[in-house]
Amino acid sequence: MKFLNNYIIEKLLFAFLLYNSTVADHYKHNIEIDIQYYTFKITLSDSTAAITGEAEIKIKFLSDGIKKFDL
């Protein structure tokens, strides 16, 4: 019985590790910028069902000539 429990735990751990490696972020990293700070403020309204948001981002550009970038 102990062997069976260890076997099951081993298989669950393997499945968990395999799953985590497949859901990692796959977005393209931009090595020409450094995000120094960010904050997001979101406001929800019950009366109008509106959602408003504000973002503040401090970016350090590591090279000259960057005209656009994705967040």
pLDDT in tens, 12-62: 888 777 776 556 666 777 888 899 999 999 999 888 888 999 999 999 999
Is 66 inside any structural domain?
no
Q: What pLDDT does residue 55 have?
A: 93
Q: What pLDDT does residue 23 have?
A: 60
pTM: 0.48
Is 17 inside any structural domain?
yes
pLDDT class of 70 with cuts at 50, 70, 90: confident
Is 54 inside any structural domain?
yes
- End-to-end C-alpha distance for the chain, whole angstroms: 51
Is 56 inside any structural domain?
yes
Q: What pLDDT does residue 67 have?
A: 82
**Total domains in the fold of the chain:** 1
Is 67 inside any structural domain?
no
Q: What is the number of other CB atoms lying within 10 angstroms of the CB of residue 59?
A: 14
Rg of the chain over CA atoms, in angstroms? 22
Domain hosting residue 37, numbered range: 2-61
pLDDT class of 69 with cuts at 50, 70, 90: confident
Is 69 inside any structural domain?
no
